[in-house]
Amino acid sequence: MKALAAALLLFLALPAAAKSRKKPHAPKKAPVEVSAPLHPPRVSTEPITFVWPAEGATVAADADFVFGSVAVATAPFTINGATITVNNDGGFLAWLPISSGTFTFHAELKLSSGAATADRHIFVPPPPAPLPDSPAAIDPSSLSPRADLELRAGDWWTIRMKATRGRRAWARVPGEDWREMRETNPALGIYELNLRVAPGQRFGPAPIEYRLGGGWSSVRATGVARVSAGGDATTVATARAAAGYANLKTGPNDGFLIFPPNGARMAVTGRDGASVRVELAPYLTGWVDAKDVTLSTGAAQPLAHTGNVGVTTDASGATVRVALSERVPFEVVEDDDLNALTLRLFGAVGHTNLVIFDGGESDFVEQIHWRQEADGVVVLRVRLKPGRRLWGYLARYDAGGSVRLQLRREPRVDRRRPLAGLRVMLDPGHMPSAPGAIGPLGTKEMDANYAIAQAAAALLKREGAVPLLTRRSSADEVSLTDRPRQAAERDADLFVSLHNNALPDGTNPFAKPRGFTVFYYHPHSLALGRAVHEAYHAAVPLPDEGLQWDNLLVARLTSAPAILVENAYIIVPEQEALLNDAQFRQTLAKSLVAGLKSFMAGVGRKQRK
């Protein structure tokens, strides 16, 4: 699930790599479970059971939700004096104010035999406060930069500290003069100095020095981070990520940019702690986790020359091969109408003389042309034949270093049975080691997801489809990156990841209606997402939170249309009760299959035109 489930301590960690190159998900001899009952909720013998927040949890907010269950649903129930509504199965969810320090949720259930009580303790950090006005002091934990920095000419960077308010303050770069800082937040005593590395400027690596006040009463501090500028040696980062590709971001802790496959070489232009900055083009840089690359100092600057382009067409689509002198990062961008796409190569120079269609004219690819878009950036445009639409693609390096772009054409659709023969991968989210969210009665998200997948698989079989499950049993351990990998390896035509939602601490569950959501990422998945969303809207008796774009790992699958569905909010007592009801899970499964069927029927109508 998204970061939402992480807030419930049952989070899904970012996946580790497969432990070997052997395909871990080849079909097994054991049959897929056709049906499996949802694991029953945990039954507590206590009159009051808190499930969330966890005992001793730290919650940085001024209000939080609390949920759990009581033994007698009809008995008066309060938390901190507030009357709490209890579902008829005993589950409860409340939104209550909290205050800084050790905070107690005190619950009381008035039974016929007497009052039962229970407490749940959390810690709420105090709000930021200034240092005392006297004596003058510098907060050593505030000194920034906090992690080592490697800078280049033209880089902007910031020195920051928290200290006694209303004083003069200075900072010194290693080997240079003191420069005065500015108090940017007088209420808290935050001082900053913004600097830019000048051409030819060199210093460090060494820590920053800080000073507050002057003369004999001045206070000094030295940072922990070591900062340097002006390094000459060429350093190259080569992607070596456990997942098979590196995540390149727009900043050390910012959004995703591109996903260079292992072996891609990139010039290093800086570092911020555990994040390495690399150059894609003169106008574009990205940041990658140092653990996902191998660094080589003194290596030749990455610069690939493109060779000839070859096109091979077959029943599944077409393969475009772009010869390269070395592996460099690239991105693939689909046109919204799915009749063309762009391959953009970074750190490359165009030297392509021939585009060769093996076997003569292709019935799928109309034209390929290239251009040098900018220094170090080559763009290859692939346009499909009129009436052809891209179903999905796979982009990777082959053993010789060429980029292989496998373009999939639409499956042929049977007018009477639109799903017949279609390979549909259902991905029940989470697993025993990362069970996802949990409900007030203790229902685990991974079990609800699996039960919905089982119900959908049975319906898909009746429609003539071939259901494939990423988790072939409720006890299967399947990492996040293995799920889309399975879809590609097992030739799935559609991919649907099934989840149930939760919320992060400090979010009011009653602030708006909560229900189902459908997420997509690529343009080739939009129509699928729209069809499934419309089917849920028509049949699922929950609030509709819409069709949304989100940068979710499983939804980034490129080989086929892929979506992620949040079916309900498992932390809401009424919706947890529904998820424990086989009839409601059947409604979800029917809605999903109806959406898939509607999508494929639409594809078939376009084919017949």
| Model pLDDT for residues 426-475, shown as the tens digit of each residue | 999 999 999 999 999 999 999 999 999 999 999 999 999 999 999 999 89
* Same domain, residue pair 432 and 560: yes
Residue 245 belongs to a domain with what CATH number? 2.30.30.40
Spatial distance between the Cα atoms of 384 and 390, rounded to a whole number of angstroms:
8
Could you tell me which residues come within 8 angstroms of residue 293 by beta carbon, excluding any fewer than 6 positions away? 237, 238, 239, 240, 241, 246, 266, 276
Q: Are the CB atoms for 264 and 241 separated by under 8 Å?
A: no
* Same domain, residue pair 433 and 573: yes
Domain limits for position 454: 414-608
* Same domain, residue pair 206 and 248: no
| Model pLDDT for residues 326-358, shown as the tens digit of each residue | 999 999 999 999 999 999 999 999 999 999 999
Residue 68's pLDDT is: 97
Half-sphere exposure of 9 (CA within 13 A, CB side): 10
Say yes or no to pLDDT of 66 above 50: yes
Query: Residue with structure tokens 């892929």?
Result: 562
Pick the closest to residue 380 from 293, 479, 450, 311 (CA basis): 311
Mapped to the 3 state alphabet, what secondary structure does 555-596 carry? Answer: HHCCCCCEEEEEEEECCCHHHHHHHCCHHHHHHHHHHHHHHH
Mean pLDDT of 548-574: 97
Q: Are the CB atoms for 66 and 79 separated by under 8 Å?
A: yes
Spatial distance between the Cα atoms of 325 and 322, rounded to a whole number of angstroms:
10
Cis peptide before 15, with omega less than 30 degrees from 0?
no
Residue 596 maps to a domain: yes
- pLDDT category at 217 given cuts 50, 70, 90 is confident
* Same domain, residue pair 397 and 440: no
Q: Which residues, in sequence order, are bridge partners of residue 120?
A: 105
- pLDDT category at 45 given cuts 50, 70, 90 is confident
Spatial distance between the Cα atoms of 534 and 549, rounded to a whole number of angstroms:
16
Residue 288 maps to a domain: yes
Spatial distance between the Cα atoms of 492 and 157, rounded to a whole number of angstroms:
47
Last residue of a domain, one of 297, 314, 333: 297
Distances (CA, A) of 243 to 246, 496, 555: 7, 21, 16
* Same domain, residue pair 109 and 147: no
Residue 24's pLDDT is: 36
Last residue of a domain, one of 177, 198, 229: 229
Residue 380's pLDDT is: 98
Spatial distance between the Cα atoms of 414 and 417, rounded to a whole number of angstroms:
5
| Model pLDDT for residues 136-181, shown as the tens digit of each residue | 999 999 999 999 999 999 999 999 999 999 999 999 987 889 999 9
Pick the closest to residue 95 from 445, 511, 437, 501 (CA basis): 511
Mean pLDDT of 43-65: 93
Mean pLDDT of 226-252: 91
Residue 199's pLDDT is: 92
Residue 532 maps to a domain: yes
Name which residue leads in pLDDT, 215 or 183.
Answer: 183
Read off the tokens for 156. Answer: 């902007």
Residue 3 maps to a domain: no
Last residue of a domain, one of 270, 297, 324: 297
Q: Are the CB atoms for 32 and 454 separated by under 8 Å?
A: no
* Same domain, residue pair 518 and 404: no
> Mean of the per-residue pLDDT values for the chain?
92
* Same domain, residue pair 558 and 476: yes
Mean pLDDT of 241-254: 94
Residue 73 belongs to a domain with what CATH number? 2.60.40.10
Q: Are the CB atoms for 533 and 595 separated by under 8 Å?
A: yes
- pLDDT category at 32 given cuts 50, 70, 90 is very low
Spatial distance between the Cα atoms of 61 and 506, rounded to a whole number of angstroms:
5
**DSSP track, 475-537:** T----TTHHHHHHHHTT-SEEEEEEEE---TT--TTSS---EEEEE-SHHHHHHHHHHHHHHH
* Same domain, residue pair 570 and 463: yes
Residue 283 maps to a domain: yes
Say yes or no to pLDDT of 8 above 70: no
* Same domain, residue pair 451 and 580: yes
Residue 39's pLDDT is: 54
Residue 239 maps to a domain: yes
Pick the closest to residue 49 from 79, 82, 10, 11 (CA basis): 79
Residue 243 maps to a domain: yes
Q: At what angle do helices 445-462 and 582-608 cross, to 10 degrees?
A: 50
Residue 331's pLDDT is: 97
Residue 17 maps to a domain: no
Residue 273 zone, left/alpha/beta (φ > 0; ψ -120 to 50; rest): left
> Number of structural domains, the chain?
5
* Same domain, residue pair 422 and 398: no
Residue 403's pLDDT is: 97
* Same domain, residue pair 485 and 423: yes
Residue 545 belongs to a domain with what CATH number? 3.40.630.40
* Same domain, residue pair 463 and 556: yes
If 0-12 CB within 10 Å is exposed, 13-18 middle and 19+ buried, where does residue 57 land?
Answer: middle
